[in-house]
Structure 1
């Protein structure tokens, strides 16, 4: 199975890094199941200060996964609210990361 791996960056609100890590210590099963149904294969997250780096592996791209999730009834409003309180909503703070080098490609 071929998958799409993408990097993505978000920014946290000032002082939210520890709470963000605690929140992600356990993802609700029903949220994980919905993401998987919508195309998620693997999602890894690193935090450096207030910058969050995501490596998202999907069946056919992060955008397509987000479209599918958006078409569902809201899966977990409490989770969405908790994350929204931690992530900076400045549109310049979130962006796809361009791939510079991949060891598989050489």
Structure 2
């Protein structure tokens, strides 16, 4: 199965990194199932200060996965509210990351 791997950057509100990481220690099962049904294969997140770096692997692209998620009823309102409280949408720094180099070394 061929997949699409994309990088994405978001910013946290000042001081939110620890709570954000704690919240991600357990992803709600309903949310995980919905993401999987909508095309998610793997999602990894790194943090550097208040910057989050996401590596998102999907069946056919992050944008398509998000489109599918948007057609579903809200899966977990409490999760959505918690994450929205951590992320700094006003910073204008949420953006896809352009791929510079990709190689598998033997």
Q: The TM-score by the shorter chain falls in which range? A: over 0.9
CA drift of 1:93 comes to 1.7
After the TM superposition, which parts of structure 1 deviate over 3 Å for at least 4 consecutive aligned residues?
none
Asked if 1:39 corresponds to 2:19, the answer is: no
Aligned length: 105
Is the 2:38–2:68 contact (alpha carbons within 8 Å) kept by the matching residues of 1?
yes
- Report matched runs for 1:51-66 at 5 Å: 51-66=51-66
CA RMSD of superposed structures (Å): 1.2
Q: Normalising to structure 2: TM-score of the pair? A: 0.96
Distance in 2 (alpha carbons) for counterparts of 1:91 and 1:75: 26
CA drift of 1:92 comes to 1.7
Q: Which runs of 5+ in 2 are unaligned?
A: none
Per the alignment, residue 49 of structure 2 pairs with: 49
Distance in 2 (alpha carbons) for counterparts of 1:90 and 1:42: 27
